Amino acid sequence: MDMQKIGNFLKELRKERGLTQEQLAEELGVAGRTVSRWETASNMPDLSILIQIAEYYDVEVKEILDGERRNNTMDKDLKETLEKVADYNEIEKRNAVSIGNTAFGVAFLICAAAIIIQFLLFSSLSLVAGETIVLVAAGIVYITLMVHRGLWDAASKNKRTVLNDGVLSVVISVVFSVLYTIIIYPKTGSAVTVSRVCVVFFVGISILCFLLLRFLAIISSRKKDMHEHEADI
């Protein structure tokens, strides 16, 4: 495969349409510099983008890979095959991320449960402080890596919505509020005082969790688009 020949062919197709690199980039939903990389043979389009380019120029994917025109219609069978391959790759990636999320989530919950049990048995925050810090740090590192690679919502077929982030925020807040109640009730001894404090705590945690999840979803989506459309091959 001659990348320089492919780049020249892509440039030729663009000029036939009378488009600038920026105009084509806008049509394909990529950055202008990405188109420039294709045409200078420093980068190749992703499979999904390659199919989109072939459709846009009404040529075969094979013609693009050969770097020369053969006929004026796209091979539908080849297009469908490549689309299925792209979908399969996406499903495989989603399944792998789902398995990783599940494994990490189970391990995280087991560690959290062990910390809670130790605290209930010995009523000593200092005893579980170190384990808690390590657990929280591990969670932060994992989430950071997932967001950086644009995989935060990859295990789901659809992007995270305001509704499911809201529900998740409430669930998380309920769990933390129960734990907080267990911790402060022995020290306070007043059900009324504990209830008021926990309500405020619940509302505050819910808002913080929701804002954090929305922020992570937005950043992850941007990172995912960047990796799909701008990553060098």
Per-residue pLDDT of the chain (233 residues; tens, 9 = 90+): 678 888 888 888 889 888 888 888 888 888 878 888 888 888 888 888 888 888 888 888 888 888 877 654 445 666 677 777 777 777 777 777 777 777 777 887 788 778 777 777 776 767 777 777 887 788 778 777 777 666 666 555 455 677 877 887 888 888 778 877 777 777 776 778 878 888 888 898 889 888 888 887 777 777 666 655 544 44
Contact 194, 204 (CB under 8 A): no
Could you give the CA distance from residue 213 to residue 137 in angstroms, rounded to a whole number?
17
Neighbours of 30 (CB within 10 A): 22
Q: Comparing C-alpha atoms, which of 45, 34, 46 is closest to residue 93?
A: 46
| Full-model pTM | 0.43
What tens digit of pLDDT does each residue of 176-213 get?
A: 788 777 777 777 767 788 788 888 888 988 898 888 88
With a CB cutoff of 8 Å and minimum separation 6, the contacts of 25 are: 31, 32, 34, 35
What is 3-74's CATH number, 1.20.210.10, 1.10.260.40, 1.10.10.10, 3.60.21.10? 1.10.260.40
pLDDT at 179 (0 to 100):
75
- Note the helical H segments in 40-124: 47-57, 61-66, 76-122
Residue pair 34/43 in contact (Cβ under 8 Å)? The answer is yes
- Whether 178 contacts 227, CB under 8 Å: no
